[in-house]
Structure 1
């Protein structure tokens, strides 16, 4: 049978910001208990007192392996090279039987020194490229269905250590920092040991600063 503690944990694990604030004791337990009262009562299908919720909140402990991961601390403190590329455009095309052919033609003719990224989803594909090639892409993909196009973008690329795939919480820390700084991400491009985010030109300085803060403040937040 589900308990109040089970309900509290279920809610907190789906709201990491709330979970972190709770672990740092910067939330008013009484106010939060009142806020969760109706939700937990509905989950249990019976009235629940705020005092019982407060007790469950005080007893809740976030995963220790996330809060005290020495590997995660080390990675955030020693992030690799950060590279910024500007004047980019992002195309979104509907997947088709000819899309890969159009893509291959581009690969045969573009300058290999420019920024270029291609990712294919189930229903659509994205192509990010330097704005100097914008018209070239439009011409080569003229028979494809363009879903969207966004220019005036910048890419911030971060070199990650080779063991980054074995470190829980790494990407959470990066996305959390962007969210706290109020930075919207237009696109995310990831390879095994490199992570790139696309942001609009006017937010690139703020986004770059947010990434640098990851290393400077590696001991703040979940690591308190």
Structure 2
């Protein structure tokens, strides 16, 4: 039985707890009591909360703690933010005709630079995120397709990322954590190499923007 190892394994599997410990905002005794049943099950013996508290306090800085400063520095270098209102989201079952219609949509979008359109193809379904103004064209063009889901009254927040974003782990965790703690649901995520777009309900856009700006530090 090694209480310290089991405590470390538990904390490693719960990143929110680990971050709270690093920031000093978690009550050790309360956490120990919550962890006690799981630690006892792994150790196959009774373990007192005090022993768990001692193990928690002796934890050396983990990989998460060591890289958190680097991630925060990265977030401070986030680039331009772009906000779009009047966004809709469609999900269709994949078909050959669904793919073949895409050039027609892109041609229409090219005529109006202010329009937003994104097409993401998965194994079994595809998602379209676009401006409200394209609704009639999409409804008509894809009338023969199987519509799996449709959401309106959405907004999109696009964040430009530093070019070294693919070399740093944990970036998206920090962003989604801030939104999750405020009970903001991210409906879709659209990403390219150096930018990420978060699609949320319009009512949550201002708060989402504020939280991401806070991560950047201004």
TM over 0.5: yes
Match of 2:209 in 1: 208
Note the C-alpha offset of 1:112: 5.2
Match of 2:126 in 1: 125
The 5 A counterparts of 1:169-188 are 169-188=170-189
Using the alignment, how far apart are the partners of 2:4 and 2:119 within structure 1?
45
On the 8 A contact 1:23/1:62 being kept in 2, the answer is: no
Note the C-alpha offset of 1:160: 0.8
Give the secondary structure class of the aligned counterpart of 1:48. Answer: coil
Number of residue equivalences: 214
Match of 1:220 in 2: none
On the 8 A contact 1:88/1:153 being kept in 2, the answer is: yes
- Structure 1 outlier segments of 4+, above 3 Å: none
CA 1:161 to 1:8, structure 2 compared with 1: closer, same or farther past 3 Å?
A: same
Using the alignment, how far apart are the partners of 2:160 and 2:124 within structure 1?
29
Scaled by the length of structure 2, the TM-score of the pair is 0.90
Deviates more, 1:176-185 or 1:79-88: 176-185
Deviation track 1:7-65 (CA, whole Å, cap 9, x = no partner) reads 32332233222111111222221111111111122233333222222222112233243
Using the alignment, how far apart are the partners of 1:125 and 1:6 within structure 2?
44
RMSD: 1.9
Give the secondary structure class of the aligned counterpart of 1:189. Answer: strand
Deviates more, 1:170-179 or 1:100-109: 100-109
Match of 2:137 in 1: 136
Match of 1:32 in 2: 31
Give the secondary structure class of the aligned counterpart of 1:118. Answer: strand
Match of 2:72 in 1: 73
1:88 aligns to 2:75 (yes or no): no
Scaled by the length of structure 1, the TM-score of the pair is 0.87
Deviates more, 1:190-199 or 1:103-112: 103-112
Note the C-alpha offset of 1:102: 2.6
Deviates more, 1:96-105 or 1:120-129: 96-105
Deviates more, 1:141-150 or 1:73-82: 73-82
* Structure 2 residues not aligned, in runs of 5+: none
Deviation track 1:146-195 (CA, whole Å, cap 9, x = no partner) reads 11000111111111111111122221211121122322111111110001
